[in-house]
Amino acid sequence: MADKQDLIIGEDGLARCFWAGPQADYIVYHDEEWGFPVDSDTRLFEKICLEGFQSGLSWYTILSKRENFRKAFHGFDITKVAAMDEDDVERLVLDAGIIRHRGKIKSTINNANRALELIEEQGSLAKYFWGYEPKDRAPVTSRAEVPATTDVSTAMSKDLKKRGWSFVGPTTAYAFMQAMGLVNDHLVGCFVYEKVEEAKANFKRP
């Protein structure tokens, strides 16, 4: 079981990871999204891009603007994002609904083009990313055991950078792995931990 100080008990009496909340939408994200395995190329692309935007900021800042990001980047349709140009960059730099970081906006467009190349080579982003799922990883029981990076996330980062992706450092790669279910970093004792384990057991790897 996780150390009780690393779990929070909600008004519903359920134990959650230390970072869940207090905002209602953050709790929903923790309970229903984070850590559950994903095989949708669109969602995988969205997440790797949003993790890049998150660099230097809190994830909740990005989550609270996620719908604005989706509107700005065509629902993270990879082909549509890849076709965006400098006029789109200038427009989005002025969009107060997102993070107005020119480098990260341009990175998203670049990464869409690199994603199309990866899909052409591998068949899907899902097949590529799930190739980095760690094997025999021990569950985490305290926040101190949750790493910021791992050898696997570092390897993913290096390979993506070699392929021309940007804003995909080892920390960004590991946060992506956590969110998309390649690892289950819900603490043992969090009520979602077993749900994610069950979802991963039933998940068909690409």
Tens of pLDDT along 11-69?
Answer: 899 999 999 989 999 999 999 999 999 999 999 999 999 999 998 889 999 999 999 99
CA distance 1 to 65: 34
Against a cut of 0.85, is the pTM above it?
yes
* Mean predicted confidence (pLDDT) in 83-94: 98
CA distance 77 to 91: 18
- Give the active site residue among 59, 133, 145, 197: 59
Q: What percent of the chain is modeled with pLDDT above 70? A: 98
How many Cβ atoms sit within 10 Å of the Cβ of residue 174? Answer: 24
- Give the active site residue among 29, 34, 128, 130: 29
Q: Please check the confidence at residue 1 and state whether its pLDDT lies above 70.
A: no
Whole-Å CA distances, 134 to 21, 76, 113, 138, 139: 28, 27, 27, 10, 12
Tens of pLDDT, residue by residue over 176-203, are: 999 999 999 999 999 999 999 999 999 9
Q: Please check the confidence at residue 3 and state whether its pLDDT lies above 70.
A: no
For residue 145, what is the DSSP state?
A: G
Q: Please check the confidence at residue 4 and state whether its pLDDT lies above 80.
A: no
Is 130 considered catalytic here?
Answer: no
Is 59 considered catalytic here?
Answer: yes
**Residue 136 pLDDT grade (very low, low, confident, very high; cuts 50, 70, 90):** confident
Q: Please check the confidence at residue 2 and state whether its pLDDT lies above 60.
A: no
pLDDT confidence of residue 196:
98
- Give the active site residue among 26, 34, 46, 51: 51
